[in-house]
Chain A
Amino acid sequence: MNKYAFFPGCVAKGGCPELYPAAVKVANKLGFDLVEMEDVGCTGAGVLSQEVSDPINARTLAKAEVLGLPIMTICSTCQGVIGKANLRLQKDPEYREKINRDYLAEEGLEYQGTTDVKHMLWILGEDYGLEKLKEQVVNPLTGVKIASFYGCYMRRPSDVLQLDQFPDRKKYLEATIEILGGEAVATKGKGQCCGFPILSANERNSLEMCGNHTIEAKKKGADVMVTPCPLCHLELDGMQPRAESHKSQKIQLPVLHLPQLVGLAIGFTPKDMKMERHIVSTKSFEKQIQWIEVLSKNPV
């Protein structure tokens, strides 16, 4: 049974309101049992000082520990930041004790260091299994060229990714694309920064990154891009019109959240996946998958 303490994060319910319902629908259809953590805080996203985000994250980890469940995230940044806090708290019992004593005791909580934190992508790759996911595919994305875009915190640092234990964590996105019937397009940018974190500090550099990644994917023939990170989505989808002006060229690359791509292949409609909420129209891609469906049911 895949039962998780579900940590949706801020953006899946804020700037990317299409992500939350898509993730829940897909998880339910795959038979995951999700217990949503509603009373926990933002991870700090690498913006807040570790001195205050570590206690907030320790509180989240302690609450999942009480439930006896691993945490499921749907955001690369949430995963990276809470994962890093978890590593510090697990490795250093003295530090953990101090946080428990100074911040959690008042609420009657104590983190013992046993909670596991996994992004939905890792859960598909490790707990659920991609072979099992393949069995659920009813609308294979045959022939669709899909560029992957991980988000920094799903690539680095390697100790937080636990690459020694799970060496394939940097390959799950392409593996998932292939399992869903699509064709993974290899890009140089897939593991790089999307540009979102510096949108306020240096807009030019941020839009340059957004433009470079979407243009590279488009040049290599991608019909669509997929990301497990809603912050990357805000940049690559939301800022794409601005990147187009910055780069003085049309890009028009639809960008999907990971659960949306999985959802379409396992039988949900674009409407179920709230794809009408994207800034860059997904219509071309939707037509493409409609044709795949028609052709697969009416072989010539």
Chain B
Amino acid sequence: MEVTLKIFRYDPDKETKGNHSEYAIDVDENATVLDGLMEVKSSHDSSLSFKGSCRTGLCGDCSVQVNGKGTVACRTTLAKAVKKGKDGVVSVDPLYPAKKIKDLIYNQNDFLLEKYKSMKPWVVSNLAHGAREDEVSDSTIKELQRVMSCTMCGLCDQGCLVIAVDEQYVGPAALNKVYRVVMDPRDSSKREKLEFASGARKVWDCTHCFEATAHCPKDVRPTESIFELRDMAIKHGIGHGRPVNHHKSFAASVKNDGWLDETRLAIETEGWFNLPGLLKLGPVGLRAFMKRKAPLPYFLHKKRKGADAIKRIFNKWERES
């Protein structure tokens, strides 16, 4: 099978900006993008730099963008990529928005590893030094298999729509990792970890857009992990400020009325005594009021029919959790 690869080339010693070069290669029908890169390196240009190790989707090392979409190169066949490429040419670029080092190699430290480390993603055991082994039952660890299969390929962060506008956001990969540790029965630092994860530019900054889950090649579902971290933080009374106020007000309004009271939500999110926050709501509220768009003030908000049944569900859930 003849394929043309359009590969991003960048050499920091020679240039400030990179450019694309095209390589025509002849490969096997079942060849992957990683096979293609290795073919280019061995038969066209030995200076091409890229990463890749296990070749079976286990190590997460070979993440690149193929035709503008993040993927692991060893799990993407060229035959498929050709169909989606522009004019049948397969483009291969380094992960965005990570900083480029050379060709397809990007700086994992800023993009991923420093964020991971900031979350202290390791088990802090209670066992005294020298005590017997800390055992985990099969059944508890089985539940963690989904999140444990993360290979740190970085594709969820690459697809993250928040990182796209704010590189300082910690991102789904690190949050999934901290979830994995918090759920580990051996960990004794659950509360500290949740507190840290509830801080600025972390768990509450996620838009739950499901891009992370959609980008994950291992079905780790990082978006779901973030949902669970939030639920846990709320349950343990951890975190404060607007996002937590928002969450609590939302729940209270559905619990009492069966549906959402948006006026109450807007005010309670800011906090009744947060004068600057409430003043900021002024123009938004006024604009909505002038357009007869504003929902009714909360004391006029009607209960839904069936609100009692919803309240019963809430009460029962609260009792049981």
Across the interface, do A51 and B231 meet the contact criterion of CB distance under 8 Å?
yes
Across the interface, do A42 and B259 meet the contact criterion of CB distance under 8 Å?
yes
What residues on A are CB-neighbors of B161 within 8 Å? 192-193, 209
Which among B16-24, B41-49, B120-128, B201-209 touches the partner chain?
A: B201-209
Are A52 and B314 CB-contacts (below 8 A) given A14-B262, A202-B205?
A: yes
Across the interface, do B205 and A198 meet the contact criterion of CB distance under 8 Å?
yes
Across the interface, do A201 and B231 meet the contact criterion of CB distance under 8 Å?
no
Are A278 and B209 CB-contacts (below 8 A) given A11-B262, A14-B262?
A: no
Binding site for A on B (CB under 8 A): 161-162, 165-166, 169, 201, 204-211, 213-214, 223, 227, 231, 234, 242-243, 245-247, 250-251, 254, 258-262, 269, 283-284, 287-288, 291-295, 304-307, 309-310, 312-314, 316-317, 320-321
Across the interface, do B209 and A152 meet the contact criterion of CB distance under 8 Å?
yes
A235 CB to nearest chain B CB (Å): 11
Across the interface, do B214 and A49 meet the contact criterion of CB distance under 8 Å?
no
Main secondary structure of the interface of B (DSSP, over half): helix
Q: How many residues of A contact B (CB 8 A)?
A: 55
What residues on A are CB-neighbors of B201 within 8 Å? 202
Across the interface, do B207 and A198 meet the contact criterion of CB distance under 8 Å?
yes
Across the interface, do B269 and A200 meet the contact criterion of CB distance under 8 Å?
yes
A97 CA to B309 CA, complexed, in Å: 18
Q: Is A283 an interface residue (CB 8 A)?
A: no
A287 CA to B214 CA, complexed, in Å: 41
Q: Which of A38, A192, A195, A208 contacts B304 (CB 8 A)?
A: A38
Q: Which of A48, A201, A208, A238 contacts B242 (CB 8 A)?
A: A201
Q: Which of B207, B231, B309 contacts A193 (CB 8 A)?
A: B207
| Smallest Cβ-Cβ distance to B253: which chain A residue | A42
* 6 A-B residue pairs with CB within 8 Å: A10-B262, A59-B313, A198-B206, A201-B242, A202-B205, A238-B293
Q: Is A164 an interface residue (CB 8 A)?
A: no
Across the interface, do B166 and A241 meet the contact criterion of CB distance under 8 Å?
no
As a 0/1 sequence over residues 74 to 118 of chain A, the CB contacts with chain B under 8 angstroms (1 = contact) are: 000000000000000000000000000011001100000000000
A255 CA to B268 CA, complexed, in Å: 28
B161 CB to nearest chain A CB (Å): 5
Interface residues of A in 163-213 (CB under 8 A from B): 192-193, 195, 197-198, 200-202, 204-205, 208-209, 212
Are A14 and B260 CB-contacts (below 8 A) given A41-B310, A208-B165?
A: yes
A209 CA to B206 CA, complexed, in Å: 13
A52 CA to B169 CA, complexed, in Å: 29
Across the interface, do B227 and A50 meet the contact criterion of CB distance under 8 Å?
yes
A75 CB to nearest chain B CB (Å): 11
A208 CA to B269 CA, complexed, in Å: 20
Q: Which of B227, B284, B305, B314 contacts A242 (CB 8 A)?
A: B284
Are A157 and B213 CB-contacts (below 8 A) given A38-B304, A102-B316, A205-B162?
A: yes
